[in-house]
Amino acid sequence: MERKNWWLAAALLVCAPAFAEGAPGKGTSPPPLLGKDRDGEVVDLATMHGKVVIVTFWASWCGYCLKELPVLNALQEKAGDDWLRIVAVNVKDDAVNYRAMTRQMRDYRLTLTRDRNGQIAKGYAVEAYPNLWLIDRQGRVWGHHVGYGEDSLETIINEIQSLLQAEAPMPVGTSAQG
């Protein structure tokens, strides 16, 4: 395989939706506990039913993660907290690096948690970063993406918007019969 074709194949594998062996499957409930937030409160998917939840696993050494997080934060800011919750789970960074990163992200609206020993990531079969999970309003896995790229990001955002629109509750006072 030519060198440029090898890189293209690798990029497609990294950016494509992927379910690793042992990972929660589409339509199943993923592990609910996502660590503790900045205030020390447990972040549990069970408390987020009714919202679309995006869970991304990241590390401070992952350059692509550091590109993805500001975009996800902007999406959280634009969407607000009523319909969407984005949780960014830091995996295995030491305390010094984690604190430095959270200081840099102190104004972020997305929820930051920490997976000190990798057990949360293990429940999702995370082996590469960033590792993004889309969870529907009923708490089921709707999609999964590994990696980051400018092209894949647009696809992911479109999927999030479709998921939000497809599952948006009807406004009070309307009927399904029009």
Handedness of CA 101, 106, 109, 112 (dihedral sign): positive
User: Structure pTM?
Assistant: 0.81
CB neighbours (10 Å) of residue 178?
4
Could you count the other beta carbons within 10 Å of the beta carbon of residue 5?
9
Rounded Cα–Cα distance for residues 43 and 56 (Å): 13
CATH number of 34-166: 3.40.30.10
| 160 within 8 A of 54, measured Cβ to Cβ | yes
pLDDT tens-place values along the chain, 178 residues long: 444 433 333 333 343 344 556 789 999 999 999 999 999 999 999 999 999 999 999 999 999 999 999 999 999 999 999 999 999 999 999 999 999 999 999 999 999 999 999 999 999 999 999 999 999 999 999 999 998 887 787 888 889 988 988 755 544 444 444 4
